[in-house]
Amino acid sequence: MAQLFPEDYQLAEGEVLHKGEFKTLEMLKEGLNDQYMVFHGVHWTRVEEDAAIYGEIDFLILNPYGRVLAIEQKETQIEVNLKGELVPIYKDANGLSKSSRTINSQVSRNIGSLRTEYQNRYPEQRLEIDHLLYVPNAKVGKNLPANIALGRIVDSTNRESLVSIINEMFDKNPMPTGDHTAKTLDIQTFFLDKADVCPQIGLIGQSARQRTTRLSSGLAEWAERLDFSPFRLWVQGTAGSGKTQLALKELRKAEVQNKTAMYICFNRSLVDSVKMSAPNPKNCWTFHELARFVAESQGQVVDFGDEATFKQIVDYFLTHYDELKEQLDVLVIDEGQDFYPEWASVLLELVKPEGRMIWLEDYSQRIYGRPSIEPEGWVKLSSPTNYRSPQHILTLINGLNLTDDYLETGNGYAGLPPGHFVYQDGDVVSETSDAVQDLIGQGFAPESIAVLSFRGAKNSVFLSDQVEKINGFSIKKSTGYDKDSNSTWSSGELLVDTLYRFKGQCADAIVLTEIDFTEWDQVTKNKLFVGLTRARLTINLVMSKVTEKLFIEKGFL
């Protein structure tokens, strides 16, 4: 199965304008193997009214060796004019009309422009692009124009063989020819920009991460339009508004410009996920990882067997960071609401006076009860639009007044109504199993479900040794870190974690369990908000009898 960029796409219900491109994308996805990357624009259709990725190019296929195939798809009839050129014929109110533009001239210009843009970014590399015309509803015949080679057009007579033809083209000439050929990773980065794709951390199917759709009017797009100096941007963005996408785009841009950039976050799981998509993973740290690095590089012995170690390395870092002052061109701080003010003061000194600083946070995700930080003199950008959560979940969040401001939905998907299960003392595992089975019955695979505890890891029965399976599915949970400080996990079908560690990530379906509180205090509301916004499609809540009464009092359940 081919890798799609972006992978998260869907056609709006009732939409017919781009069904042809959507069908082709599905065909490429299923027919090509996972060595191929397919870049597309199908996800733009509702925003841009266009499914092309670049000009008239609908799909760009990249193989592991850096060879590229550009596919132009035309859903119209085609004819050859007197000059021997292919001309599309469109239906209009008066019947059929011919376009004044020929197909080959449009795409030739697009491919030429694409090569030029690439060479401007990577002057020492030459991008090689082949071209295929796909006209599934037209019958061109054998009278092809001289400028279109035989085998470079697929029409209605051989449209079922599209994938086979593509495979044959790559198999025949898998490697780019000549000197200074483009590097595959650089091509991938370049095409991601052309598709306007920013990686979003998620959990879809068997993959722990995904790349997702362009955010309509999202943070990454708006932040790039801003121009002020010094660049100090304070982003207040709700969950699912695109904060991490913005962070990754800043890191990618810095890499292209040969600037030194660093990403700092409090949440270890989110940092691990960002590393998978960042151009320079070594510059992505948790605050405590950075503190540990400074301490050990200056000869301090760090022993995590001592519970006081975390405080000790932080205290050391706050007084021994001089060598890092003004070393960075770009600093991105994510999940800023989790930082103490004294941490922030030191981190901001690591950036050069003319450098870029981006502070990303969401007050509604303050689950540690730490003091607020308000960067003085910074430009503030607010985004109350959640592009991740379906409408049913946003309705629940707004109805429970979990946030200070009303959240807007940027997700056209209504989703499935949240389910709820109530446990008595001793049967939380049983009720959680029922909640998982309910999702399985709705068609979710266990790999697309995440079971999150409302409690911390030390207090959760699911993170203890007492529970090995849920609803018959083996559990995948954190087992710590290896000698290189990489996360280690048990093997299992069903991910189990706490909402604390899963913050910043998402899954198709969530089971939020061990929900037990007696009042709507601020930290509780923030924790519930974090849990609800982890779900991309639906969520089941497993709560105590006491907590159920609180929901009922607010008019829910």
Average pLDDT by stretches of 10, the chain with 557 residues: 72 50 90 90 40 67 92 82 72 54 67 84 90 87 57 86 94 88 88 60 32 46 82 89 87 93 92 88 94 93 79 94 95 95 95 96 88 88 82 89 85 78 93 94 88 94 92 90 72 94 88 97 95 92 96 84
The full set of domains in the chain, from first to last, is 3-193 (no CATH), 200-386 (3.40.50.300), 391-553 (3.40.50.300)
The total of other beta-carbon atoms located within 10 Å of residue 379's CB is 13
pLDDT for residue 412: 61
Q: Nearest-CA neighbor of 338 among 376, 409, 375, 287?
A: 287
Facing residues of 237 across strands? 383
E strands, 362-500, in order: 379-383, 385-386, 408-409, 419-423, 449-453, 469-470, 473-476, 478-481, 487-489, 494-498
> Distance between CA atoms of 448 and 1, rounded to whole angstroms?
18
Asked whether the CA dihedral 114, 116, 117, 121 is positive or negative, the reply is positive
pLDDT for residue 413: 66
Tell me the one-letter amino acid at 224.
E
* Burial class of residue 55 in the structure, from the number of CB atoms within 10 Å of its CB (0-12 exposed, 13-18 middle, 19+ buried): middle
How many CA atoms lie within 13 Å of 317's alpha carbon, on the beta-carbon side?
25
Has this prediction a pTM greater than 0.95?
Answer: no
φ/ψ of 451, rounded to 5, equals: -100, 120
pLDDT for residue 29: 92
Distance of CA 421 to the CA centre of its chain: 30
> Distance between CA atoms of 94 and 91, rounded to whole angstroms?
8
pLDDT for residue 47: 33
SS3 20: helix
SS (H, E, C) 48-61: HCCCCCECCECEEE
pLDDT for residue 97: 54
> Distance between CA atoms of 276 and 82, rounded to whole angstroms?
53
